[in-house]
Amino acid sequence: MNREPSRARTFHASARINLMLALAGLVSSPALAQDPSPEEIGLAIAYEAAARNDGFGNFTANLTMVLRNRQGQESRRQIRFKVLEVEDDGDKSLFVFDQPRDVQGTALLTHGHLTAQDDQWLYLPALKRVKRISSSTRTGSFMGSEFSYEDMSNPEVEKYTYRYLREEPCGDLICTVNEQVPVDTKSSYSRQLVWQDKEHLRTWLVHYYDRKNSHLKTLVFAGYRQYLDRYWRAGEMTMENHLTGKSTVLNWTDLEFGTDLGDGDFSQAALRRVR
Amino acid sequence: MNPALLDRYIAAVLRYRWLVVAAATLVMLAMAAGGRFITVSNDHRILFGEDNPQLAAYDALEDTYTSSNTALIAVSPRQGNVFTRETLGVIERMTEEAWQAPYSSRVDSLTNYSHSEALGDDLIVGPLVEDAASLSDADLDRIEEIANDSIELVGRMLAEDGRVAGLAINFIPPRETHDASVVELNAYLDEMMARARAESPEIDFHITGDIVMQRAFAQATQDDLERLTPIVFFLIVAVAYLILRSISGALSMVVMILFSVGTAMGLAGWNQTVFSPVNAGVPIIVMAITVAQSVHITTMTLTAMRRGLDRMEAVAESVRVNAFPVFLASLTTVIGFLSLNASDSPPFHTLGNYVAFGVACTFVYSMSLLPALLSILPLRVKPSYAGEVTFFDRFGEFVVARRKPLLWLTTIPTLLLLAGIFRIELNDSLPNYFDERYEFRRDSDYIIENLTGLESQEYSLASPGEGGITNPEYLRQIDAFAEWCRSQPEVTYVRVFSDTMKRLNKNMHEDDPAYYRLPEDQALATQYLLLYELSLPFGMDLNDRIDISKSSTRMSVVMRDITSNEQQLLAERARGWLAENAPGLTTEATGLSVIVSHITERNIKSMLRGTVIAMALISLVLVVVFKSLRFGLLSLIPNFIPAGMSFGLWGYLVGRVGIAASVVTVVAFGIIVDDTIHFLTKYLKIRREGRSAADAVRYAFSTVGKALGTTTAVLSAGFLVFAASGFEVSWALGILVAMTIMFAFLADFLLLPPLLMAFDRRKL
């Protein structure tokens, strides 16, 4: 979660070398013997960002979602989040809803996959049943917010194609601007522009373009902190919908890495035990 | 003005006549150069003032849910119903294309309707139709059955007889570039419709919606500005020529029109004025008034020349005699039009201000350019024989001789006409503002007849608190309210959240129809809703029906063939039902239809003050000018009554009237009072010479009779041309004002003189 791309472990060892070359020579160095193509640089950045996130194991966090409409009214959702890194496949994640009260104990389990459709189940405590969510895409609004599950989910490198565009200052940092196009034709986006700082490859800004290629939403990251001396996580993610004027802020707190979570905590059976 | 000063001024104008013409030309050209900055608006929202409470309520609703404009496309196969692979395929393809339309935020159609069903422990949510071409006959039957059973589809996305299907597109054009965006997305829709028609000749396509209306709105403005204006121009010039019988005289009118209209519209351009159908008539009204004002000076110049005066002397005399009455007439007209600023509807402010400015320009040009022109153009007249008796001389004699019967003969029809006012019904409907020459209106009528209504009342129904929309009592109440609305004869379709909850409850019980009812456990209902929302694809979410804190839902009540009054009554009944059965939900209906249904009332109320102030000011001017309270007040009678007579006649002939009604009285008042001013000025001149009222009436008829006949003909012709407009506000205003001008002419000639002779017996 938290949108640091997870690295697929299938990628070729030489990719990493290419990547280092590419990063070193980004735009500024025409001296390099053969300039990599923008697509190669873009892919390399994505792989490197994933690599730096590699091996986090698991973490838990609390999540507050604040929704705002054009009127300026606000509404809050409280969610607990757990994620488990999976070798050679997408991560497994679990949302447990605490607020609003009527959905307390409702839990959403996702088994991510590299290229195949993710599996998703929802546990309804009032019904004491687990329901599979069958929709082929999860592109709709997440709990009425401006985030879709697609926006929040852990993007596997393989789910996009990349093209490096340019570098430019972003705040006090220098960012690369990378265009990524979803491989899935059912995605609600035609492309995304991603700003990542060169030093730590943290994502600071994403522009989402809808299927008619107009700039629909903007996601801004803030409050990055480093965990385990290695993994960067943003404390705040703000999504603004330019069409409707609505916005949603996600606040991440109490991040805890290296907990005792295991595969058993991310099974359908485990959903019923969630409290 | 001091008479000696006026004489010196006139002499100077005539001596430096070429300089005057050159200076006037320079001023006009400098002003007219601004004309290129005039723009035309396509946003019907400009009709509503910023402090309009119904608009504020609607904006709040849109800000709470999602603000949007819509287009609605009806797809009707010529044969059979819509449940064929071909027709469903067309709808499916158009749904995809609609998603590509600029600024589209949501597309709802028969094919992409989010159908949900249970499959074991899974909730399957998907479009009702997917890949129509590959459907089997059994699939088609199943889809038809589902659609016909869906209370969410029938009456909106599907006609009751299954022959027409709907496709609704929501747009959110950016507020900053609204007009350009509307043009852009309409172009896209046009292309989409043209392609659909070319590819599927066996299917009919119609399109309506407020976004399409906005184009018609701009089109109507353009039509009136570009098509009606030249008609009025030639008509007025022709009438002026026929009456003046002088080519040079008519030519000077043409020049006056070009200068006044050019200056007024030029200023509008420099001020970057945005025109709409409501005020597209500015140039037309300015033209008519310009001619009406210049007729006096021109006619009298020609008359003086016929009497044998030399041209310069004739012009000088005409200006001298007319300066004051023309000034007064301009002043009262300006006051009348400026009072439009009291209107609640901003386009009327533009109308009033630029006509007022145009009239002021006309006065200035009449006192400078016109005499200079008349002294330059080759005026030729046949000298008249002394003692020749004109039509108006004979008419004056007739009125003097028959004053008593005339008083009765005019009073009775007047009273009968006034009684017609009670037959007037106020009614506004945005689609019906356009007549059938506009495709928008024809398509709207088709869709109303065959698919669904276009008027809707929107309710934001509040639950007890955050997350309260799944409260069983709340659901039961909104469901009962929706049922009540559905039972009203005017209502064709109701969109309500409780229907979604019933459907989900059924899905959660293995699609058992017995469970098509509201869930009774709040937590369960909330969790169903969460599951459903997580399953909806992009753009199909419920965010436009449910507020962010899940504390209120939006309900839409669609009506067809409903008048403003019936709409208000329905809203009132609904409020009554809520107060009695669900007091917690009590709220006002809102929506575009609701704003429009109140717009005329609001405007009449706001204009009432403006009208009273304008009339008081104009009366005051008359009292001061005639130096007599008696004459000032007497002169009001022929000016108050004509508007009433027009409304009365309208009541008998048409009955329904919209927002135009709110401004007719004051627009007409400023114009018609001019006749009275000219008539009374001449009348008083003779009376103050100590002669009888009868003599004074004869003199007034012989001096101004012809000029007043001409101005009446010109002005009523000008306003009558609005009858050719395809926009209701324009044609109703034009016809009502034209009628009022003609009634005023009759009143000034048939009612005022007998009144004067009856009441003015004292020696002055």
Searching chain A, which residue's CA lies closest to the CA of residue B524? A126
Residues 190-219 of chain A whose Cβ lies under 8 A from any Cβ of chain B? 211-212, 214
Residue with tokens 């009888």: B692
pLDDT band per the 50, 70, 90 thresholds, residue A11: very low
Give the closest residue to B750 by CA, choosing from B484, B465, B403, B441: B403
Whole-number pLDDT of residue A135 = 57
Distance from B274 to chain A by nearest Cα, in Å? 26
pTM, two decimal places:
0.84
Q: Residue B484's CB: how many other CB atoms inside 10 A?
A: 17
Q: Which of B548, B550, B551 to mutate to test the interface with A (most CBs of A within 10 A)?
A: B548
pLDDT above 80: residue A16: no
pLDDT reading at A126 higher than 90:
no
pLDDT on residue A215: 93
Contact A70 B63 (CB under 8 A): yes
Three-state secondary structure readout of B329-349:
HHHHHHHHHHHHHHCCCHHHH
Q: Which residue of B has its CA nearest to A149?
A: B534
pLDDT band at A113 (very low <50, low <70, confident <90, very high): confident
Q: Does B35 touch chain A (CB under 8 A)?
A: no
* Residue written as token pair 């007064």: B328
Residue segments in chain B with a per-residue pLDDT below the cut of 50:
none
- Mean predicted confidence (pLDDT) in A114-124: 83
Place of tokens 């929309």: B469
pLDDT tens for residues A191-214?
999 999 998 999 999 999 998 889
Residue B99: its chain A contacts at CB < 8 A?
Answer: 211-212
Query: Is there a contact between B533 and A108 if contact means CB atoms under 8 Å apart?
Result: no
Q: Which residues contact A260 (CB under 8 A, 6 or more apart)?
A: none
Closest residue in B to A75 (Cα) is B549
Closest-CA residue of A relative to B56 is A71
Q: How far apart are CA A271 and CA A274, in angstroms?
A: 5
What ipTM does this complex have?
0.83
Give tens-digit pLDDT for B656-708.
888 888 888 888 888 888 888 888 888 988 888 888 888 999 999 988 888 88
CB contact under 8 A, A122 and B530: yes
Does residue B41 sit in helix, strand or coil?
A: coil
> How close, in Å, is residue B114 to chain A by CA atoms?
11
Give the pLDDT score at B433: 87
Rounded CA-CA distance A225/A52 in Å is 14
Neighbour tally for B25: CB within 10 Å: 13
**Is B121's CB within 8 Å of A127's CB?**
no
Q: Which residue of B has its CA nearest to A127?
A: B524
In tens, the pLDDT along B278-297 reads 888 888 889 888 988 888 88
B residues 518-557 closer than 8 Å to A (CB)? 521-528, 530-531, 533-543, 546-550
Query: What does the radius of gyration of chain B's CA atoms come to, in whole angstroms?
Result: 32
- How far does A156 lie from chain B, in Å, by closest CA? 20
Separation CA A130–CA B671 (nearest Å): 78
Q: Tell me the percentage of chain A whose pLDDT exceeds 70.
A: 85
- Cα–Cα distances (Å) from B222 to A76, A140, B180, B260, in that order, read 49, 42, 15, 21
A97, β-bridge pairs: A79
- Chain-chain contact of A100 with B524 (C-beta, under 8 angstroms): no
B102 touches chain A (CB under 8 A): yes
Choose among A102, A108, A211: nearest Cβ to B534: A108
